[in-house]
Amino acid sequence: MKKVFLILALLGLITSCSLDDDRVQINYELQPVVDYELPDTLVWGQRYNFKIRYVSPTSCNYFYDFDYARQDSTRLIYVFEGVYEEEMCTDTPTDTVSVYLPFETRYNYDYIFKFYAGEDENGEDLFITDTIPVKG
């Protein structure tokens, strides 16, 4: 009896699997930062949530995550969005999205924040740069 049940279960599993891929395709895009809010000074050991704003180009875009790179005292910050492909999307070039970047001051030196702001005509990355001093 157990063998019959096992064979029926396996047959049901095999026939229920479809070779058609009905999953939604998602791609990821880098979005330029248009504005941000940072304090005038940072306090060593303090945690912050920096408000970052960017424009989401279509209704199929959604905030995915930050990419954050360190180079000594410089922090390179990029905003990534997921994009649902093959969906009926509408252009929304005026929809500004606010997201929050968690940050902890771990070092007692001035931080240089470089927010990705798009590319120039040569395809080189452009950044909005701000230097924030740290108080001990």
**Is 31 in contact with 79 (CB distance < 8 Å)?**
yes
**pLDDT-based confidence at residue 4 (cuts at 50, 70, 90):** very low
**Phi–psi pair at 82, nearest 5 degrees:** -90, 150
In this prediction, residues 88-107 reach a mean pLDDT of 88
- Residue type at 93? P
Q: What is the CATH number of domain 26-135?
A: 2.60.40
In this prediction, residues 69-98 reach a mean pLDDT of 88
Residue 103 has a CB neighbour count (10 Å cut-off) of 18
Structural domain boundaries of the chain? 26-135
Residue 22 burial (C-beta neighbours within 10 Å; 0-12, 13-18, 19+): exposed
Task: State pTM to two decimals.
Answer: 0.78
**Is 80 in contact with 61 (CB distance < 8 Å)?**
no
Which three-class secondary structure state does DSSP give residue 8? Answer: helix
Residue 31: alpha-carbon gap to chain centroid? 9
Distance between CA atoms of residues 53 and 13, nearest Å: 47
